[in-house]
Amino acid sequence: MNTRLLKIDRNTDCGAQLSEAAACLAAGGLVVFPTETVYGVGANAVDPDAVARLRTVKQRVDTKPFTVHIGSRSAVERFVPGLAGLGRRLTERAWPGPLTLVFHVPDIEAAAIVREVSIKRAETMYHNGTVGIRCPDDRVAAEMLVKAQVPVVAASANPGGEAAPVDADECLQALGGYVDLVLDAGRTRYARPSTIVRVDDKGYELLREGVLDDRTIRRLAHVTFLLVCSGNTCRSPMAAGLLRRLLAEKIGCAVNELEARGYTVESAGTGAFPGAPASAAAVRALEGRGIDISTHRSQALTSDLVGRADYILAMTGSHATMVASLGPGAGTQVRTIDEEDIDDPVGGSDEVYRQCADRLERALRNRLKEIAL
């Protein structure tokens, strides 16, 4: 077989060449293409002959799956029905990018792609109730994948056991004569493989460290909530205690497992004196709900706290304004906990504190409905 080489100039319009590569893929050809990590070799996922050729080129047994490659983040919805929680969070924070995600899909027949192509043809993409998906951060790869208009599976453009190629010359040396087309767009940006992470309802597992290290994945996977009031002794510590329990209920774990599941809840005050305990009335208000905030100690609101928070819930509009003044972008992640300000119960009776806790819980339940956990 003669392998064609198409040179791609990233500084010019290469639409015609990418359309040619996409047409080759759709027709059952094997196409080598660049990504930001290494070069890959792709095939039409619903063409059995193309997938069989890919297995031969990769020297891969029938039971080892290939990774689905998509040209846009939103395309993941076709393959993973009801994507939520950690999986959605990682796609939103890391895609497009050098991260391959292996999703748990217990009912593959619920996936839109299965309805489009039939369960039999979709089996090449799913394995034991999982599907691996990659969304490359490379304009050439992304445009080609979109233009193909067929699901594409791919692997690094080398025979099994050999080093993954990072330029077209290495691809030709490894696969010349075995593939139909090679897109030459120069050396890849990272010249390292993607990181592979498996995600499910219980968390994630790092399967292979690549461009992104374990520390980066932990940061991407973690969610931090920050509750803000004035003195950080009444409203915000009550809200933090309530939120921890609501989060645990929603994701199905114990409160003391939240950190391991990737969730942190903090609170702070715009005028707090550090180290003060929660007010006695606030402690009593939550004791009646089985929540212990007696170990709480106040802290002042800082730009560092704001910077590491993903969601900031303020008791009043003035608190939200204060948060927004502490750093660029802070205003986009802060909102009031309720539609109307929640007044400070300080100095009030136990009944006033219980009513405040009731309102905080209602407001938090409503806010959690808006957040994909």
222-367 has which fold?
Rossmann fold (3.40.50)
Question: In the prediction, which pLDDT does 120 show?
Answer: 86
Is 229 in the active site? yes
Domain ranges of the chain: 4-219, 222-367
169, 200, 341, 344: the active-site residue: 344
Q: Percentage helix, strand, coil, to 5, in the chain? A: 40, 20, 40
Active-site choice (229, 245, 354, 367): 229
Respond yes or no: is residue 235 known to be catalytic.
Answer: yes
Reported as a single tens digit per residue, the pLDDT across 275-329 is 999 999 999 999 999 999 999 999 999 999 998 898 999 999 999 999 999 877 6
What average pLDDT does the structure give for the chain?
94
pLDDT in tens, 32-89: 999 999 999 999 999 999 999 999 999 987 778 899 999 999 999 999 999 988 898 8
Q: Which two tokens stand for residue 322?
A: 């204060």
Distance in angstroms (rounded) separating the CA atoms of residues 194 and 197: 10
Dump pLDDT digits (tens) for 232-261.
999 999 999 999 999 999 988 999 999 888
Q: Residue 230 contacts by C-beta under 8 Å, 6 or more apart in sequence?
A: 269, 270, 271, 272, 315, 319, 344
- CB of 157 closer than 8 Å to CB of 38: yes
Give the tens place of pLDDT for each residue, 131-156: 999 999 999 999 999 999 999 999 99
As a whole number of angstroms, the distance between CA 146 and CA 62 comes to 27
- Asked whether 227 and 240 are in contact (CB, 8 A), the reply is yes
C-alpha distances (whole Å) from 209 to each of 138, 192, 195, 216, 217 are: 20, 10, 5, 10, 10
* Superfamily of domain covering 4-219: DHBP synthase (3.90.870.10)
List, for residues 21-32, the tens digit of each pLDDT value: 999 999 999 999
Whether 350 is catalytic is: no
Task: Decide which of 328 and 168 is more confident.
Answer: 168
Cα separations (Å) of 204 from 63, 87, 186, 223, 309? 23, 9, 34, 14, 21
Q: Which of 53, 55, 121, 235 is catalytic?
A: 235
